[in-house]
Structure 1
Amino acid sequence: MWSCSFLFKHWDVFTEVTEVFILVPALLGLKGNLEMTLASRLSTAANIGQMETSKEKWAMIIGNMALIQVQATVVGFLASIAAVIFGWIPDGIFRIDHAVLLCASSVSTAFIASLILGLVMIGVIIGSKKLGINPDNVATPIAASLGDLVTLALLSGISWGLYKEMKNHVFMNPIVCVLFIALLPIWIVIARRNPATREVLATGWEPVIIAMAISSVGGLILDKTVSNPNFAGMAVFTPVINGVGGNLVAVQASRISTYLHMLGTPGEDPGLGIRKCPNPCWTFFSSDVNSRSTRVLFLLVVPGHLVFLYTINSMQGGHTTMTLIFIVFYMTAALLQVLVLLYIANWMVRWMWGRGMDPDNFSIPYLTALGDLLGTGLLALSFHVLWLIGDRDTDVGD
C-alpha cells in the first residue's frame, strides 16, 4: 500500500486534480466500512452456526455481496461529493469536469474494490471454518491489509485512465457514473431477499455515511499537507499508519462482538457491565480474554511499523530521511493512535450491544474512520513539529 502511494502520487491526475487526495482516506476507509464489516458479520455467522448448510452459505453470500455493492456505490458517490466540496471551499474554484471525474473514479473504484475484496473475504471465511481457524483472527486483518492495496491501486489506475479519456472523450466520465448508479436497483432487489441483509439495507447507512464524512476530513488534512512541498513525504506514510491502526482495531472489535454474540443477542446484558464506561486500566491490564488480546494487538504496533519504515527507507520512498527523531515522532503518533482506538473499541462495542445494535454492522466503520482521522491528524502534526525543530524532508529519491 505504501509503495503504491509512492509510485502514483506523482502522476498528472494527482498533480492536476489534487482533490483525488481527499478521496484516498475516504475510499481506503471504505474497506473498513464495508469489507471489514462484511468479514466481521460473516465471521460471527460462521462462529455461531449460521453457515452450516450449503443453502445458508449461499443465502448469506449472495445477500451480503449485493448489500456491499449497494453501499459501495452510494458511499463512493457521496465521497466524491465530499471531495468536491472540501476541494472547492478553501480555494473557491469549481470545475465541472473535475467533479465528474472524481465521481466516476470514486464510484467505479468503490464498486470494483468491493466486488474483489468481498469475494476474497468469503473465500477466506469459508476456508478458515473448514480448517478450524477462528475467522475473526484471519478475515479482518486480510480485509484491512489487502483492502488498502487493492483500493489504492484501483483508485490510482482508474482516475489516471479516466483523466486521460476526459481529454479525448468528454462523455466518458458521465457514462461511467450513470452505468454504476443504474445498477443500484438490481443490487437492492437481491439484498432485500435475505432477511439479515434486508435489515442492514434499511438501518445500516448511518455508520457508513458518517464514517465516510469523518474519513473525508482526514482526506482534507492530507490534501492540504501534501500540497505543501515541505511535507510531500507524508503521502507515503498516511496509508501505512491508517492501515495498521484500522487493521488492529477491527480485529479487536470483531473479537469482542463475536464474544458477545456467543453470550446472547444484542440488547441483552450478559453481566459484563456493558452499559458502563470501561476503566482504562481494566481495558489494558485485566485478566479478561479481550484485555489480553488488547495488549497483544498494542504490542504489535512497533514491530509492524518498523518493518514498513525499513522497507520504505530501503526503497528511498517518502522523501524523508529516517532519522532517530523522525522514527520517535512517527512511533509516538502510531502508538497514541492505536491506544486511543483500542480503548474506544472496548467501550463502543459494548455500548452498542447494550442498546440493541449489532456491533458487527455498526462499530467497525466508526472505528476505522476515527483511525483515519487520528492517524492523518497525528502524522500531519508530527511532520509540522519536525519541520519546526529542523528535522525536514530532504527530497530523497525524486
Structure 2
Amino acid sequence: MQALPSLIISVFGLIIAGFIMDEFQHWDVFTETSELFILLPILLNLKGNLEMNLAARLSTSANLGELDYGPTRRSLVVGNLALLQVQALVAGALAGIASFALGLVTKPGRPTSFYESMYMTSSSMVSASVSSAILGLFMCALVILSRRFHIDPDNIACPLASATGDIVTLVVLAACAYILRGHMDSLFSTAVFLAMSAMLPLFGFIVWKNKHVNHLLFSGWTPIICAMIISSLAGIVLEEYVEEFKGVALLTPVLIGLAGNLGSIYASRISTCLHSKTKEDYQLVEWTLMIMNFPVQLVFLLLIWRFNMGQLDYNGWFFLTYFVVSMICTWICLKTAKFMTLGFWKLDYDPDNYVIPYLTASIDVVGTVLLVASFSWLTSSGATNMAIDSSATTVATPSPS
C-alpha cells in the first residue's frame, strides 16, 4: 500500500525522463557531441546511486529512531548533504572524464581538444552538484515527513529519489551543455571546472567534522567507481543503438529505472532489518514486488500507447516482448538485491552504502542489452518494425543549437 503509489509516481517521472531524453537526442548540442549519450547513463546512474544511498541511510536512521531527536536530526541532515556534494563533485568529474575517454575509444580518429574534455567534465560536475543540492534537500524532507506520518521510508524513498533524480539531472545537464557549448573554444569551461573543484575542500571539511558521516568520507568510493565503469557499458550500447531502434531513449529509463527501484526497495528493507535485528519475509516481499511490477508497467504502456510516444509501431508482439523483458529484469534485480545485501552484511560492510550502486549499474547493462536484443528480434522476425527509417532522419526539424 505504501510502495505502489510511489512506484506509480516514479513511472510518471521516468516517462518524463524518457521523453526528455528522446527530445534531447535531436538537439544540436547532443548530435554534435555524441559523448553526451555516453555520459547520460553514467551520470544518471551515479546520481541515482548517491541519492538512493542517501535515502537508504536516512531510512535506516529513521527506523532506528535517530531522526526523532532535533540536534541529531540536524547533524545527520547537514552531514549527509555535505557528503552528497563531495560525492557528486568527484563522481561528476569522473563521469565527464570517462565519457570523453570512451568517446575517443569508440570513435577513434574523431578530432578532439582540451577544450572539449573540459566541456564534458565541467558540464558533468555542475549537473551533479546542482541536482544533488536539490534532490538532497528533497530526500531529507521526504524521510523526515515519512517518519512523522508513520510511513516506512524504505518503501517510498528510493523510487522517488530515482525518478526525480533522472528528471532534474537531465534538465540540468542539458542546460549546462547548452550554455557551455557556446564557450567551447575558450577557457570558460576550465574556469567552471576549477571553481567546482575549489568547493571540494569546504564540503570535505564539513563532513570531516561531522561524527555521523565522517567515516564515509574515504570509504564507499569503490562501489561508486565500479558502478560508473559498469554503467559505461550501458552508455556504449545506448550510443550505438539510440539512432538504430525507435523508442530506445524513451523505454530504457523506465525499464531499468522501475526494476532498479523495486530492487532498491528490497535492498533497503533488508538492510534496515539487519541493522534493527528483525526478520524479513523474503519470499513474500519478492512476490509482492514482482506482482507490483505488472500494474505499474501496464500504466506506462497505456500512457505511451495513448499519446503515441516514441513513434513506435504498437502491436501485441511489442507489448508482450517488452513485458517479458521487464519481468526478467525485475526478477534478476530482486534476486541480486537479496544476495548482495546479505553478502555485504556478512563481510561487515554496510549495505546502505554498497549494494545500490552495484545493483543499479548491473541492471542498467542487463536491461539495456535485453531491450536492444528484443528490438532486434522483433525487427528481424517481422513481428514489428522497430528500426528507425534512415530516410526520415535526413529531414531534420529545427532544434536549439
Question: 1:107-118, aligned counterparts within 5 Å?
Answer: 107-118=125-136
**2:95 aligned with 1:103, yes or no?**
no
Match of 1:379 in 2: 371
- Is the CA contact (8 Å cut-off) linking 2:379 and 2:387 kept in structure 1? no
Kept in 1, the 8 Å contact 2:245–2:388? The answer is no
Alignment of structure 1 residues 71-90 onto 2, 5 Å: 71-90=87-106
Residue 269 of structure 1 corresponds to which residue in structure 2? none
How big is the shift at 1:257?
Answer: 0.3
Deviations 1:119-152 (A, max 9, x none): 0000001101111111111211210111111112
> What CA distance in whole angstroms lies between the structure 2 residues aligned with 1:322 and 1:98?
40
Taking only the aligned residue pairs, the percentage that are identical comes to 38
SS in 1 for 2:310: coil
Do 1:166 and 1:173's aligned partners in 2 also have CA atoms closer than 8 Å? yes
CA contact (8 A) 1:69 1:187 kept: yes
CA distance in 2, matches of 1:124, 1:395: 41
Aligned equivalents of 1:351, 1:138: Cα separation in 2:
24
Residue 140 of structure 2 corresponds to 122
Per-residue deviation, 1:249: 0.8
User: C-alpha separation between the residues in 1 aligned to 2:344 and 2:321?
Assistant: 34
Residues 321 and 394 in structure 1, CA contact (< 8 A), matched pair in contact too: no
2:259 is matched with 245
Amino acid at match of 1:246: G
After TM superposition, the structure 1 stretch with the greater mean CA deviation from structure 2, 182-191 or 93-102, is 93-102
The CA deviation at 1:196 is 3.0
Q: Which residue of 2 aligns with 1:393?
A: 386
- Spell out, residue by residue over 1:300-353, the C-alpha distance to the aligned partner (whole angstroms, 9 max, x if none): 222222222222233332232122111122112111111111001111101111
2: CA distance between counterparts of 1:224 and 1:113?
27
- Match of 2:333, as an amino acid? L
Question: Does the 8 A contact of 1:319 with 1:393 survive in 2?
Answer: no
Instruction: After TM superposition, give the deviation of residue 243 of structure 1 in Å.
Output: 1.2
TM-score by length of 2: 0.88
User: For residues 204-237 of structure 1, what are the alpha-carbon distances to aligned partners after superposition, in whole Å with 9 as ceiling and x for unaligned?
Assistant: 10011111111111111101111xx431421111
More off after superposition, 238-247 vs 93-102: 93-102
Aligned to 2:58: 42
**Does structure 1 retain, via aligned residues, the 8 Å contact 2:378–2:386?**
no
Instruction: State the distance in 2 between where 1:234 and 1:307 align.
Output: 18
> Cα deviations across residues 20-42 of structure 1 (Å, max 9, x unaligned)?
01111112112332100000001
Matching residue within 330, 333, 337 for 1:345: 337
Distance in 2, Cα, partners of 1:67 & 1:31: 13
Identify the range of structure 1 (306-315 vs 56-65) with the bigger mean alpha-carbon deviation.
Answer: 306-315
For 1:119 and 1:335, how far apart are their aligned partners in 2? 33
Shift of 1:94: 4.7
Partner amino acid for 1:317?
M
Amino acid at match of 1:213: I
2:346 to 351, 354, 372: 354
In terms of mean alpha carbon deviation, does 328-337 or 68-77 score higher? 328-337
Structure 1 gap segments, 5+ residues each = 265-271, 273-287
Unaligned 5+ segments in structure 2 are 1-16
Cα pair distance change 1:213/1:119, threshold 3 Å: same
Q: Which amino acid is 2:128 matched to?
A: A
Match of 1:212 among 228, 236, 247: 228
Residues 312/155 of structure 1: CA separation in 2 closer, same or farther (3 Å cut) = farther
**Aligned with 2:309: secondary structure?**
coil
Q: Distance in 2 between matches of 1:253 and 1:204?
A: 17
- Do the aligned partners of 1:148 and 1:243 also contact (CA within 8 Å) in 2? no
Counterpart Cα distance in 2 of 1:28 and 1:15: 19
Mapped partners of 1:209, 1:348: distance in 2: 17
Please give the alpha-carbon distance, in whole angstroms, between the structure 2 residues aligned to 1:154 and 1:247: 22
Partner of 2:3: none
TM-score computed with the length of structure 1 as normaliser: 0.89
Quick check: 310-319 or 124-133, which moved more?
310-319
Tell me if structure 1 keeps the 8 A contact 2:375–2:386: no
Which amino acid counterpart does residue 245 of structure 2 have in structure 1?
A: F
RMSD across aligned positions (CA): 1.8
Q: Classify the secondary structure of the residue corresponding to 2:311.
A: coil
- In structure 1, what is the equivalent of residue 215 of structure 2? 199
Cα distance, 1:395 vs structure 2: 5.6
Q: Deviations over 1:228-255 (max 9, x none)?
A: x431421111111121111111111000
Question: For the residues of structure 2 that align with 1:223 and 1:8, how far apart are their CA atoms?
Answer: 13
Q: Counterpart amino acid of 1:355? A: L
In 2, the alpha carbon distance for the partners of 1:102 and 1:370 equals: 24
Question: Are 1:261 and 2:275 counterparts?
Answer: yes
Query: What residue is the counterpart of 1:159 in the other structure?
Result: 177
- Do the aligned residues in 2 keep the contact of 1:6 with 1:317 (CA within 8 Å)? no
The number of residue pairs the alignment matches comes to 372
AA in 1 matched with 2:386:
D
**1:80-124 CA distance string (max 9 Å, x none):** 111112111122125123322211111111111111110000000
2:158 aligned to 129, 140, 143, which one?
140
> For residues 296 and 317 of structure 2, what CA distance do their matches in structure 1 show?
18
Q: Is 1:17 paired with 2:42? A: no
